[in-house]
Every structure is written in C-alpha cells, then in structure tokens.
Structure 1
Amino acid sequence: MLPLKEDDTYAVLSDQGMADGGERGFYRHDTRYLSRYVWKLPGFSLLFSHTPRPDRLVQHWSHIEGPSQVVGLRRELVLERGGFRERLELENTSLHPQSVEISLEAAADFTDLFEARGWHNAQRTVTGFTYTTEDGLELATHLDITPDSPSRTWRFALKPKEQAHIEVRGTFDSPFHTHGAELPSYEEWARRFPLHLESGRSQGVLEQAIRDLRALLFSLPEGYFPAAGIPWFVCPFGRDSLISAYMLLPWGADVARGVLTYLAKHQGQVVDPFRDEEPGKILHEVRLGELSRTGKVPFSRYYGTVDATPLFVMLLHEYWRTCGDFELVEALKPNWEAALGWMSTYADPDGDGLLEFFPNERGLTVQSWKDSGDSQSHRDGSLAKGALSVCEVQGYAYAAYQAAAQFYRTLGQPDQAERWQARAERLRALFHQKFWLEELGTYAMALDGEKRPLEVLSSNPGHLLWSGIVPEEIAPRLVKTMFSEALWSGWGLRTLGAGEVRYNPLSYHNGSVWPHDTAIFAGGLARYGFYDEALKVCEALFRLAMTQHDLRLPELVGGYPKHEGEPPVPYPAACRPQAWDAASVVYLLRLALEIAKKRPVQGLLEITR
C-alpha cells in the first residue's frame, strides 16, 4: 500500500501507484472520489518509485528493448487540498522513431470509507463522476486532461529524442468547506523544530518524523489539527490528537491550540446513547461520510472514549506550563469545568471515585486506548465484562484534577483549588488500594464490572508513571517489573506480558509493541528521575525507526524478543505514518533535552549545541 496526503485529501494506492481495486482510491471527507485510477502502459516496466514527501509520488517507467531503454516515462503525482495534479513526461531515448500508446482508466463510486474498508454495505446509484447522496448533497469528480482525449487514450509517434507530456488535474467537489488558514509549507514547518542531532542516522529519523507531522495536518476554522494517521484516520480524533499535541509542545503550540479549541467547540452537550455523548465529554472522532451523516453508523460525532476528557485538561495544563499562555486557560474555562463535571458524574455513575465506561455494541466496546474488543482480559484469559475502570485513565484523571487545582489557584479561587487538589489525593490513595498487585509488582490493567482486578502484566502502568499517580516509594519496583523479560522486548513494552494466556506477539493489543505507548513510559521514567532507564527506552525507539526502510516508527510491531542484527517482526496492517508515533520522536528529544540539564546525554540522542 502506498498512501499520499495533503490537508483533507488522501490517496490509497498500490505499490505501483495505481488505484486498481479493493480499498484503494482517492478520498476526501471520508468519501472515495475515485475508485479506479490506472495508467495502462503496455511494454513499460516500473524501475523507480519514490515518495520524497508524503504528498507526492515520483516514478520512472521504462520501455526497454535489448539492453537499452527506447522510451522513458517520468510520472509525478502531487496531492493538493481537494484534488491532485499529475504530469507524465515521455521521451524517446533511442536513435529511431518510436510509437507509444497509453491509456487511463478512471471511475468514481463515491463509497463511504466504512464501505471501502468492508465494514458496511450500502447501495447507491452513481452517474459517471457525479452523485447525489441520500441526504441530498451533490458530489462530483472532475478530471481535466491535456491534451484532451474523450477515450482517455493517447498515441504518440516520437522522433528520436522527442518528448511528449500529459497533464491531469483532478478536483473533488465536496460540500464541506471547513478549512481555515493555509497550512505551512514543509520548509516553514521544519523551521519550527530547531533540533539537530550529532548522529546522522538519528537526524534522519527526526527529519522524517517532522515531514510526517506536517503531512498529517489539516486545516480547520479552529486552527491546525493533526490527523491520527494515514490513510484511514484523516479526521478529527480526540485521544490521538490530544496525545500528539502534548508531545509536540512547546514547538507545536499552534497545533495544541487548534486541537483544544476544536474539541472544546464540539464538547458533548446532551445525553445521546447512540453517539455515547454526555454533557462535558470530549469526543472520540468526527466523520463526514454518508453513512455517518445519515445515522447508519454513529461516527458523525462520536464520543465513545473515556480518556479524551481528562487528556483534554492535561493538554491544556501542559500548553500553559510550556508556553506560558494562561489566556487560553481562561477562554476555555467553561469547557474544562464541564470536563471536570463529566469526570465526577457521568464517568463515575456508581460514585466510587473511579472513571469507568460501559461497552457500546454499536460503537466501541472498549473505550480506552487499547480499543480492540479482546484487549481487556483476566489472568485465565476470560474477557472482562461490565463497566470497566481502566488503570491509565485513573492516572489521567489524577493529573487533570491536579491541573484544575493549579488553574483555580492562578485564577484566585483558593477554595476550588483545595477542592480539586483534595480530590486528586483521594483518587491517588484509592487507586493504589484497588489496583496494586503485590504479587506481580505492578498495577492491574483494569477493574471489571464486579470490581475484580485484571491481574495481568501489561504496558498500561507506563502511563501511570507519566501521569504521576504512582507513589514515589512504589516506583522503583514498578519500573523493575516494566523492564522484566515478560514486558520489555528490547524494542519497547509489550502491550500484554509474554506468558499471559492471551499473549500473542502479532495481535493488535495483546503482546505487540506500540512505540507511542513506550514513549509515554519514557516520559514517566524521566518524571520519576529514572534518567538512565528513560534514555535506554528513547534509544530503543530510535533504533526501531532505523530498522525501517522509511525511518518511521510504525503504528506497532510484533512483540517478539529483539535479536541482534534483525529488525522487529512487522505487524501486517500497521498504519504509517501515524501522528502519535511521529510526535513520539519529537517528544523523546524533548525528554533528552530535559535530562541533559541534569546529566550528559550522549549517543543517538546527543543534541548539537
């Protein structure tokens, strides 16, 4: 699969750069505007295919006779907001006249993204390159081609050294004109991150991450917003975007502002079980496709996440701490107060002080970051049932309550500050009492609906260190457990410990390694003063990226133990690039800078002064 993206428009192409069936195509606003886009190039072979940036593809096709090329074809495809442009350049490189015939096959089906991925079935009638949706919206695809050919077939008689070219401009008409300011150029974006590493290999990883972060941006009236990942998550997400924005601070301050402002604007207002919406809750995702708009699926504005709301407050606090802008805290006061209200009411229906969620069979059954349906299991492998209280979410709530206390203290409301500080301390004590597993030296992954702990080794406690909820005296033992052979693969933390009944190194959340998850663990280590261990984790993730052909941290890799000289086993359907993985690279360097204030940092993470 070859993904390309610019702003709200993206393409999912084959390795040869074509949309030739399956889920491949050109998309905008969760709708496929071209389901087929295939150049027929008889006699040509693909010699070179390169994506110098995530918005463009460059290829060289060659027609070879005997030992030499007779006709060469350079193809350059560039995605733009709302469409693309493409140029094919043919050249007769031989000493004799050459005849060339090429053609373009193109079709539009205006399929909703959830259909294209095989998750839903729907019937629609498409006329050529136009379509009227069930809710009356007009969609259209325009292909303007020079030189014109109604049959989209071109025949060239090329003299020796003669050149010819074809230019295509594709436009995808969408009724959703939601963009704001123009996105920064790639060069301007890179200048925001004045980080330079002594290691050339490490610098290559950093530069790729910065390019990917620019590619993932799309523009909304509220500001810049990072798509969660290419290709299937080019839409506003709560959890992913909040964590990514957190990791980009202080250099990505405008991204944090955009994320916070957008999510505040779309904060839950009513109780709607279909969408999992409740007053004060921060949304999970927003989809603009036909199935979402017409209520076939609940994702037009979906709130099925238990962690986005405390993460919203955490990001706002971190934005203020790193950027010094308290005006945004003041402007969003109704929103963070509503978020705190949701956390202490709707998220805690039994009043025990822990945040929990109920599975939604029409939406997400698991509403924490490990959101696959089989990710929450007991020691015997049975799946947890009922309302779940996931451990890391309690850590986020603790950090959010502490943030609220600092907000109120700065606003000159000491009574409110004391109230939320006291709530944070009560939660910290309660959490340790209910979740700590003395036998395993770690915290339970969650409590099930009967308040029974999920007594398994997992990566989740890394987030607890990050949030600060772990008592200082417990941290050394927890860190030792996290680096045990069962959890530490050499590349990162396994999501579920080796030896657990449901452990599978090539599952989505039951033993695989997620780089962003491990990066958060590194942040927790640094927070508690485990600087050597934090740098060990940072270097492991940089080395992981260096094993990849594109120098990217993938969404996840297999949880098999690291073997010297071998790359990690890839997870077949890993998304790349993905926002919180690219952002993790920047975050790891932020940690290295903070550690360097206390002790020298050398090796892969040594930063040029």
Structure 2
Amino acid sequence: MAANTSTATTQDSPTGNGLGQGFQDADAVLPQYHIEAQTSLVERPLRSLKYGEAFAVLDSYGDIGVLPGPEGLYFQDTRYLSRLGFTIEDQRPLLLSSVMQDDNGALSVDMTTPDIRIDAHDETTIPRELIAIERTKFLFKGACYDRIGLRNYDSRHWKLKIGVTFDADYRDLFEVRGMDRPVRGKRSVQVASESEVQFRYVGLDEVVRTTSLHFGPKPKHIEPGRAEFEVSLPPGGRTSLFIRVVCESHRAFTSAPAAEKVGEDAAAGLSQAAGSAAVARHPKGLGEGVIFARAYRDARRDLRQLTAGITTIISSNDQFNEAACRATADLYMLASRTPEGIYPFAGIPWYSTVFGRDGIITAMMALWIDPNFAKGVLRYLASTQAKAVDPAADAQPGKVLHETRRGEMAMLGEVPFRHYYGTIDGTPLFVMLAYEYYAVTGDIETVKRIWPALELAVEWMNRYGDRDGDGFVEYARDTDKGLENQGWKDSHDSIFHTDGHLAKGPIALCEVQGYVYAAKNGMAKLATLLGHDAFASRLGEEALALRENFDKAFWCEEIGTYALALDGAKKQCAVRSSNAGHALFTGIALPERAASVAANLLSKDGFNGWGVRTIARGEARYNPMSYHNGSIWPHDNAMVAMGLARYDLKPEASRIFQGMFDTALYQDQKRLPELFCGFMRRNQRGPVSYPVACSPQAWAAAAPFAFLSACIGLEIQHDRNRIRLRNPTLPDFLEGVSIFNLKLGTSRIDLRVQRYGSDVTVNVLRRVGDAQVSVVK
C-alpha cells in the first residue's frame, strides 16, 4: 500500500523509548502520499458497494457528502458523484436501520419521516413514524441504482415534497486523500432532458468523464444540482422513486499519444472489453422501475455465477459463521473480472484497484476456498510484468506490478502509479503463488502459460533484485516520486535501527529473503516437473545457500529473533517486528530458531491480546496509532499464524486466531479491517480503531480462512491425491467446523473437524471421487 503514517509518537506503556529530537524534526514533514484525516472513518458507520472498477462509499442513509468525508461514487480512481442527498419536506428522514445484504450485493436502508410541519401558518404537521421509507442501492456495470420506496401507514392522504440534491466534483482519488492540484480540467453541467442531468469533465489527460443522473418518475422540477418530486400517498398507499447514476469515460481526441495510452490500458487488463468498465445498456423507452428490476436481477445472477462451487464452512459458533460469511462476501465484492480471470482489488476506499502484493497474498490465503483467485492473479500479473528498465516506474525486466491506477493524476504522471513496479516482494511472492497454486490444483496448463514470466521473475531476483551480489534481495527506489520503502510496510519511517534512526538503503528486508527462498524452492519443483533439471538443481542450491546466509546475517541473539532488515552497509536493524513471523511462514527460519521467534511474537510486547503488533512495544519508533510501527494487521497475523503452524506451534497459532475472532466481534458487520491500533487489550473494551483504515480490505477478508487452515493443518496435495490435516487443533471458541465442497482435482470432500477438550477428530461426511483424507498427529 502507499504509505500513510502518523508522525506522533505515543507510548501505551512505560517500556517505550523516546525518540531523539534530530529525527523528530525530519519526520514533521508529511510523508509521500499521506492520507489526510480531518475526520475519522470510525466517527460514523460507512457503507461500501463495489462492482468492477466502480465503488461507492455511502453514509448509513445511503447518501453521499452530506457530511465531510470520503463518501462518493468512484469510477476508475475518480469521484464521479460527490453529493447525493435525500429529503422529505426539506428534512432528512429518521434512520431506522442500515444493513448490507449478507452477500454485499446491495445496501438496504429503512427510514421514516420525522415530525414534519407542512404549513407554518395553519401548523399542519405529519407526526413522525407514519411514512415508511425503504431504500435499496447497488452497483452494476458502471452504474449506481437507487430505489426509494414510500408507504403511508396513516389513515389520512398526504402529499409530500421529495428533494434530491447532487453534485460531481471529479476529484482524483489522490485529491480526495489530501493531495493538492494547482490546475484542473473543465467541468460543466446541463439538464439533458426533463428527467436527466448530465455532468461533464474534460480532464487534462484528454479524457472526458460524464455522470448522468436519470430520474423516474419525471421530477416536478429539475435543475443542475437538484430534482424535486411531488408524491401523493393515500391511506395505505405506496410509491417508488428511482435514481440511476451512470459513469462513463472516453477520449476527447484521437491523437497518437492518446491512442498509445488506450493500448497501454488494454494491456493492463482493465479494458471495457473485459466488462469491468462496461456500462449496462438498457433499451430506450423502459421505465426506471423496470431498468432497476432488470439490473438487480442481472447483478444477483452475476454474483451467484462468481461464487458457484466455492468451498464453504459452517462452525459451531454462530458469530464466527457471521464473520466468515461477511469475509466471503467481501472477497467476492472486491473481485473484479479481467481478461485473465478474477482479481481481488485491494480495499475500499483508498485501494480499489489492482495491487500485486495484495492480490497474491489474498489468493494464497483463499487458495483452499477458491483457487480461481490465484489463477486470475497469476495470469494478470504475468501479462503486466515489466519488460524493460523504466526508472520513472521503478521497473526492471521481470518485475511484478505493484499497482495500477486510471485516474487523471496517474495518467498525467503527477503520481507514478499508472503502472508502478515499486515493490520488492511482489516478484518472489508471484513465484511462490505459482507453485502453491499448482500443488493444490495440478493445473499444469496455467503453469506452462506463465512459465516465461516465472523465468523472468527468477532472473529479476538474481540480477536486479540482488543489487550488490551478496545473495540477498534489496530495494532502493529509482525515482523520487516512488515509494521510499518497498516492502509491505511501505511507510516512510517503517524501517529503522534500534536508536530510531531510519535505515539507509539499499535495504534487505527479513521477510523478503524468506519469500525468495520459498520462491526458488517452489520454482525448482516446477522446473523438475517440466523437465528443466539443470535449472531446478541450480535453484535448489541457491535456496539452500540463502537459508544458511540468512541465518548468519539476520539472526540477532540480543533480541532473540530475526532482525527487521539489513541496511545498505549490511548492518542489522535489530528491531523486534512481526516481519520475523514471515520467516516462519516461508520456512527459511531454522527449526531451532522457531520457538524463540514465537516467544518474541507472543510476548506482552509483541502480542497485545488482540493480535501481533507490527513493531513490538518498547522499540524506538513504536507507536500503537501508527500505520506500520505498532499497529495490528489481520493479514500479517494470518501469515504469522501460518508460519507458527508450519513449525507445529499450534497453541500459539490458535491464540492469535482467538484474538482476531474477538476483534471481529467488535467490528461493524463483524468485518476485520485493514488494520487497527496496537494498544494493550483492556477488560470490557474492544480494540481501538485506526482512523482511515480500509474496510473491506481483501487480505483482511481472506485472513479468517488462513487462520482456520493453519490451525487444522490443512494441506491439499494434488500430486498425492490426498487431503491431509496435520496435527489439527481448534481454538476455544470453536467446538467444531464443517467444511463443504473441498476440492482436489475432480474429487469433492465434506469434512467435520470436532474438538473434544484438547483432542480433535476428523470425519469425512461426503466423498465424490477417489481423493484420500488422512490425519497426521
């Protein structure tokens, strides 16, 4: 993710160290791509919808921009609708309930009228709670559909004035995040017909962006920014109003540079031909009610098709079932179709686009639920892999994409993220995922298809990734606009020494060496499978040497765990961090180190009762409110738990799972957020939220499935036609879990994992095919 950090340093325990004044002053300057926060996203519940490249951030009423914040209807990294307010007799309704449907397909809002004075002269009033208002909103193919239904429960006939206000500011997402732009394009608005208003923005990037608002029935009055309806409701009467907001973009000119840009976007796999940006078309003459009903039907069918055949779980704990249901719904809401398959966009609101690292890790954690995520991610990243050296994009041949953006600022180069490759870990993670995908599915055709990309990725690791030839993969940005830190903790201040001073590069991160180790081991197995024996042998030798050298260079006896990183002088950043847990996840950690690493992670400084902190309490830059220096990330904890389970440290993995489940119970919709603050857990109080965390976030949504698979030791081994559960265990909040439609080749298995005290049994409930199930203790 692009960095977003707090510059304050706050300790929740006397064990924290103070920061020297010398670099406090340097940190006072806001870091790159800072997410500005005058208001917190936790001040009021927000609701998110997404389809393809469009997403909406709404308040609980389903409105946009009534209060300041990130609310809006966004399309291709631009806010196409910045305000949409709904009133009755110039008053806002009373909110009764606001819920996302279980599958995230739509937002359902129930409201009623407040006490309304119709005529100030004769004091005619409508007592509250006589008119029921039911609102349904969803997105489908570049459009937002909104139905407002009203029903009169009074014995009297009422005529009501309904007002809808709206605006479109066409702010680039990075502007919404807080960046200033001295020059912008030209915006205009017109009443296109008696039931349509159209906003138009001609950007500096020669793209015309339009927002068309269609109303049904025809408003009594319509003007730029406002539509007014008169509704007549007899006793028991019902009526509905419809608002359809259509987002579109096209080139203003057909110059050669513009044509080249279109070609690049198509290569990125986010073209209109893919359906992600295509607008739903409706025959002329249809009423808005019919259009709404058809789009709703098609959207439901589309979602059912996307989730058909996935693995599902039902446990003994209803609250965990709710959390798992929401996590599943979030994964598929964030999934976008590309020509290469489905790709999980990273998160809403700040990262609703392709991120290489996020997509890979999400796919890894969800691999046993639905391998189609991994297939789509692998194919997409192979198709967008860098082919040349491009310092402005931090790109070298073989490097995997970090992120892609389609907003005006990215197109103009005001931010470097149009096709940006500034990630040090995406490339080895890409190779890791390729082997894990094959091991589970046996899909050799996909491996063959992306094999040239895998070979280029390995070459990049050895040539460009290892800048000084010492066997470790390091990073240093090639453009001042690029990210200063290029691991998953990419805040400007996330890599530092014990005294708090920032490390100078090139920087070799602890976890990245583990990813490279696992990537080369996996690639060696794939190479053997395809008959490249010499290549496989070389990769195996490189992986073995890396493991030995890693332990010598990164193990730090003083802190009892692996160092966070090595700086450009090969000096250890001897800081206790969650990064060391990734050394367990990848298997690069020596077995004799595992218990010490685990003890460090689960100590009171490392584990706050909810999860493992990114940076342990007491380290120089520890700040429980920071983005990466003391906060808690569910996906990070899931990878740590998977690492603990790999070294058969199941009680420790279960402890983290328990903490994360407890966290979900305190969250709106039981949804794990992108991150939360690292303050120590206190009795009768929930975890402390982070003010601008994305929710939903793809890898946070996939985390519950990673926790569960780690604890039950789930291994799907296609080459042996076997599903194995290695030393399965369950945390205290789960007495039993049933797993349905677990896939292995053409076989389908239903399992029941049941806990009796500290003992766990496994029963096969259904088997279709010849796959075997075994339990190893």
TM-score norm. by structure 1 comes to 0.96
Aligned to 2:119: none
Q: What SS class does the counterpart of residue 346 from structure 1 fall into? A: helix
- Give 1:539 deviation, angstroms: 2.1
- Give 1:70 deviation, angstroms: 2.6
Alignment of structure 1 residues 396-411 onto 2, 5 Å: 396-411=515-530
Aligned to 1:147: 217
- Give 1:335 deviation, angstroms: 0.4
- Give 1:67 deviation, angstroms: 6.7
Alignment of structure 1 residues 415-434 onto 2, 5 Å: 415-434=534-553
Distance 1:484 1:206 in 2: 28
1:413 is matched with which residue: 532, 546, 549?
Answer: 532
- Whether the 8 Å contact between 1:186 and 1:214 is mirrored in structure 2 is no
1:210-263 alpha-carbon deviations (Å, 9 max, x no partner): 111111111111110001011221111100000000111133211111110010
2:272 is matched with which residue: 177, 190, 206?
Answer: 177
- Give 1:563 deviation, angstroms: 2.4
- Matched residue type, 2:616: G
Does the alignment pair 1:350 with 2:473?
no
- Give 1:22 deviation, angstroms: 4.5
Aligned to 1:59: 109
Aligned to 1:165: 240
Q: What SS class does the counterpart of residue 474 from structure 1 fall into? A: helix
Aligned to 1:23: 70
Aligned to 1:6: 51
- Whether the 8 Å contact between 1:32 and 1:112 is mirrored in structure 2 is yes
Does the alignment pair 1:106 with 2:166?
yes
- Whether the 8 Å contact between 1:38 and 1:106 is mirrored in structure 2 is yes
Distance 1:85 1:602 in 2: 42
- Matched residue type, 2:187: V
- Matched residue type, 2:154: S
Q: What SS class does the counterpart of residue 565 from structure 1 fall into? A: coil
Distance 2:654 2:310 in 1: 24
2:692 is matched with which residue: 573, 581, 605?
Answer: 573
- Whether the 8 Å contact between 2:645 and 2:711 is mirrored in structure 1 is no
1:37 is matched with which residue: 59, 84, 88?
Answer: 84
Distance 2:581 2:133 in 1: 51
1:111-138 alpha-carbon deviations (Å, 9 max, x no partner): 2211222224141211211223323333
Aligned to 1:451: 570
Distance 1:217 1:118 in 2: 27
- Matched residue type, 2:457: A
1:289-347 alpha-carbon deviations (Å, 9 max, x no partner): 11111222211100010000000000000001111112222221110100001100111
2:147 is matched with which residue: 60, 80, 87?
Answer: 87
Does the alignment pair 1:591 with 2:666?
no
Distance 1:258 1:588 in 2: 23
Distance 2:165 2:320 in 1: 42
Distance 1:460 1:331 in 2: 33
- Give 1:366 deviation, angstroms: 0.7
Gaps of 5+ in 2: 1-45, 116-125, 190-198, 251-270, 277-298, 715-724, 739-751, 753-777
Alignment of structure 1 residues 459-538 onto 2, 5 Å: 459-538=578-657
- Matched residue type, 2:75: R
- Whether the 8 Å contact between 1:447 and 1:454 is mirrored in structure 2 is yes
- Matched residue type, 2:232: A
- Whether the 8 Å contact between 1:70 and 1:94 is mirrored in structure 2 is yes
- Matched residue type, 1:146: G
- Give 1:565 deviation, angstroms: 3.0
- Whether the 8 Å contact between 1:100 and 1:156 is mirrored in structure 2 is yes
Distance change in 2, residues 1:226/1:600 (3 Å): closer
- Give 1:564 deviation, angstroms: 3.4
Gaps of 5+ in 1: none
Does the alignment pair 1:50 with 2:99?
yes
Aligned to 2:733: 604
Aligned to 1:241: 359
Higher mean alpha-carbon deviation, 136-145 vs 382-391, is at: 136-145
Q: What SS class does the counterpart of residue 127 from structure 1 fall into? A: strand
Distance 2:498 2:731 in 1: 41
Higher strand share: 2
- Whether the 8 Å contact between 2:424 and 2:474 is mirrored in structure 1 is yes
Instruction: Give the number of equivalent residue pairs.
Output: 609
Q: Percent identity between the aligned chains? A: 39
Aligned to 1:222: 340
1:470-514 alpha-carbon deviations (Å, 9 max, x no partner): 011121222122211111111111111111111111111111111
Does the alignment pair 1:197 with 2:315?
yes
- Matched residue type, 1:174: S
Distance 1:124 1:516 in 2: 39
Distance 2:470 2:324 in 1: 44
Distance 1:499 1:600 in 2: 32
- Give 1:186 deviation, angstroms: 4.6
- Matched residue type, 1:411: L
Distance 2:556 2:329 in 1: 42
- Matched residue type, 1:27: Y
Distance 1:60 1:516 in 2: 34
Distance 1:467 1:602 in 2: 23
- Matched residue type, 1:607: V
Q: What SS class does the counterpart of residue 299 from structure 1 fall into? A: coil
Distance 1:393 1:217 in 2: 26
- Give 1:576 deviation, angstroms: 0.8
- Matched residue type, 2:110: H
Higher mean alpha-carbon deviation, 222-231 vs 561-570, is at: 561-570
Larger radius of gyration: 2
Does the alignment pair 1:268 with 2:386?
yes
- Whether the 8 Å contact between 1:190 and 1:211 is mirrored in structure 2 is no
1:374-412 alpha-carbon deviations (Å, 9 max, x no partner): 111111111112211111000000111111211121122
Distance 2:453 2:335 in 1: 24
- Whether the 8 Å contact between 1:357 and 1:387 is mirrored in structure 2 is yes
- Whether the 8 Å contact between 1:250 and 1:319 is mirrored in structure 2 is no
Distance 1:407 1:465 in 2: 22
- Whether the 8 Å contact between 1:268 and 1:283 is mirrored in structure 2 is yes
Distance 2:507 2:684 in 1: 41
Distance 1:184 1:160 in 2: 38
- Whether the 8 Å contact between 1:186 and 1:211 is mirrored in structure 2 is no
- Whether the 8 Å contact between 1:260 and 1:316 is mirrored in structure 2 is yes
1:27-71 alpha-carbon deviations (Å, 9 max, x no partner): 111111112211233343222222224342222222244875232
- Matched residue type, 1:70: L
1:582 is matched with which residue: 693, 701, 706?
Answer: 701
**Greater than 6 Å deviation, 4+ residue runs:** none
Distance change in 2, residues 1:51/1:496 (3 Å): same
Distance change in 2, residues 1:50/1:602 (3 Å): closer
Higher mean alpha-carbon deviation, 109-118 vs 451-460, is at: 109-118
Distance change in 2, residues 1:357/1:188 (3 Å): closer
- Give 1:17 deviation, angstroms: 2.5
Distance 1:90 1:247 in 2: 44
